[in-house]
Amino acid sequence: MNFNETLKCTSCDQAIDCRIGMSNRLHQPLRFACPGCSAPIDIDLTFGVGMKFSGAERAEGISPFDNTNPFVDLHLDFPVYMGEYVMGMTPFMRAITQIRPEEYQLHNARLNALNAGADNVPFFRNCLKFYRNGKIKPFQNCARQRFRVAADSDLPQDINATLYSLIAKVMWPFALPGQDRDTVDQYMRVISELSQSNRQATDAFIDEVHGTGFVKALQHDCLEIYPRILNAELALRPVLFYDFDCDFSETLLPVRVSTHDFEMYKDMYKDITEIVSRQLVLIAGVNNLIKRGNHNEFQPGIGRLPNGRDFTPQSLNAFADVPFGRKMDFIDDSWFTLEDAATDNQLRNSIAHYKTNYDEVSQVIEYFPRREGMEEERSESMQFIEFMRRILLAYREMHRMHHLIKAILYYPMLMR
């Protein structure tokens, strides 16, 4: 179902034609910027209550629209559009013509799961907080009563199994089909083979990352990201669609996201990639075990420069201090493939240390990835929806490596 509304911006009196597509979500907050003055215009739609406007008011218009006024096509669940009005070519119709029926069914199932679980986000956050704080009984009660995930016993391995079953159940709309299973199989196979071929060295690696508290701290950092991803689901909904649209990276269509803006989410990419950077310490340790039988031994000379200076890390602890952008350079012929689009170090540095600009009307982010002193001349740009796609990909890499954390946590419980 779609509604056609002509709105008048209360800041500049600009008339805007809007086609509003209905999601199955009970509460549907939509936002876009006025094409005339960039003031935010909010549409708040709730089933059984109606539609409310902020920043604009209903105005008299004609139906069908004749493209006299600027036009915006709004929908929570699909990439939306601003440009020429075409009767019948709604965001939903644009989307289903680009993907196969079975892909749409999966996309729809994800959206329905997000709709059904929207009220459970605070309980999920509390459940993870109970686990982090060692409040095992409240954690078990919350998991069982709210999410129907029960522990087989109070043994540490069963408590951990409950945690990861809970995460898998709640976060599945953001996962690629089959990826978790394949990832877990890979990690367990690698750790098991290392334990069998070089038990003493593998035990030494596990003891160090456990004894320093490093792996447990990483697990807790990952747990803090999951509720934040759920809180960003309004902006991630249309991004999930691009799992099935292979032309996303090449398209020049003016696709955009209808909810909120860059400022709400920019720190999330930085925080996730910071965790990924630290997770690479575990990847490097396993790689060193595979290649040289010692988690602290990197390939000799891998960090040597043409001038003779050698920055090869002398231990895994030293590797942890290597900047994110250089970490993969010290992991020779890595057993683990990192998704490049998920870990754009220039974008991360721009958000963390340098300047970014965001145009709410065009929804284009301008960032400055280079050190240029007082002058900022060489910028890069991307659309907001592409940035949200980077967040999703970075989250998936973090989650994929979280399974390695899980395997390392299980090692003392099950493999010794």
Q: Are residues 276 and 185 in the same domain?
A: yes
Q: What is the structure's pLDDT at 79? A: 77
Q: Are residues 63 and 86 in the same domain?
A: yes
The domain boundary, picked from 141, 174, 207, lies at: 174
For residue 18, the SS3 value is strand
Bridge partners of 4? 19
Based on the fold, state whether residues 83 and 104 are members of the same structural domain. no
Are 382 and 245 found together in one domain? Answer: yes
Q: Within 13 Å of residue 292, how many CA atoms lie on the same side as its CB?
A: 17
pLDDT for 249: 44
Instruction: State yes or no: cis peptide before 300, omega within 30 of 0.
Output: no
Domain boundary among 119, 140, 174: 174
Domain termination site, one of 124, 159, 174: 174
Q: Which domain holds residue 89?
A: 2-96
Count the neighbouring beta carbons within 10 Å of the beta carbon of residue 294: 16
237 and 250 housed in the same domain: yes
Q: Please state whether beta strands 71-74 and 15-21 pair in parallel, antiparallel, or not at all (unpaired).
A: parallel
Q: How far apart are CA 396 and CA 242, in angstroms?
A: 14
d(CA 349, CA 368): 9
If asked whether residues 33 and 73 sit together in one domain, one would say yes
DSSP designation for 308: S
Which residue stretches of the chain have pLDDT < 50?
Answer: 249-250, 252-254
The model carries a pTM of 0.88
State both tokens at 87: 């009767």
Q: How many structural domains comprise the chain?
A: 3
Residues 279 and 248 in one domain: yes
Amino acid at 16: I
Distance CA 405, CA 411 (A): 10
Q: What's 340's DSSP letter?
A: G
